[in-house]
Amino acid sequence: HDDILPASTKGMSSESLVRFLKAKVKISQEELANAKREYTIRTDEWRKLQIELKSYEEEKLKLTGDLANAREKIKKHEGTIASLTERLSLRDSENNLLKRQIDLIKHDMKKLNLSSAGSEAKLNKAREEIEKFKTLLKKSQCNEKEARDKCRAKDEEMILAIRKLEKQKCELVTGIKKQIYLMDNLKKQK
């Protein structure tokens, strides 16, 4: 009885006391209605946050898959680079062999120059072979440069893709942490 009625109500008539209690009940009902509305709003917000969190988790899974695919592609490119490097090494060996052959041909040409006029045909043939080897050497060097440029471009492309995916992952993790923090605050307020 003393908990419900304050000391100031002592000596009030029954009618005044009833009015006072009705007013108090009305205030309590309004407070209850406000609390229910607030609860409904918070519950809706919590549900929205749950949906958003699920969306972030799905995005995280997708990005994780993308990152795994990117790593797989990098492995493939590394294999390709290793293969191209091996081929370039073989080309270098071929180039060295061609250079030696050119040197031998030049040496032979000197001998031919010292020989009689009847050996002019052999000299012309040797010159043709030198030109052929020079053309092969230039072609081989061009192919080698193109292969190196392609490898470099692929490496740069993959590095950029990985950096982009890692940045997206960081942003996603930050967003999830913020959502968890908000959910914890909402739970504490309940």
Report pLDDT digits (tens) over 106-137: 888 888 777 765 567 777 888 998 899 899 88
Instruction: Tell me the C-alpha distance between 147 and 54, whole Å.
Output: 45
Dihedrals phi, psi of 185, to nearest 5 degrees: -65, -40
- Reply yes or no on whether the pLDDT at 2 is more than 60: no
Three-state DSSP at 4 gives coil
Q: Residues near 21 by Cβ (< 8 Å), separated by ≥ 6?
A: 4
* Alpha-helical regions (H) of the chain: 14-114, 120-189
Average pLDDT, the chain: 88
pTM, rounded to two decimals? 0.34
Query: Can you give the C-alpha Rg of the chain in angstroms?
Result: 43
Contact 123, 112 (CB under 8 A): yes
**Per-residue pLDDT tens over the stretch 19-61:** 988 998 999 999 999 999 999 999 999 999 999 999 999 999 9
Greatest Cα pair distance in the chain: 150
| CA separation for the pair 23, 188 (Å, rounded) | 32
Confidence bin at 3 (pLDDT 50/70/90):
low
Q: Look up residue 109 and give its two tokens.
A: 């040409």
For residue 30, the one-letter residue type is: E
Locate tokens 């419900």: which residue? 4
Residue 1 pLDDT level (bands cut at 50, 70, 90): very low
8 A C-beta contact, residue 151 and residue 84: yes
User: Among residues of the chain, what percentage have pLDDT more than 90?
Assistant: 53
User: What is the tens place of the pLDDT at every residue in 132-173?
Assistant: 989 988 888 888 888 888 889 888 998 999 999 999 999 999
What confidence score (pLDDT) does residue 119 get?
Answer: 64
In the chain, the amino acid numbered 85 is: T
Question: Residue 2, CB half-sphere, CA atoms under 13 Å: how many?
Answer: 1
Q: Are 133 and 171 in contact (CB under 8 A)?
A: no
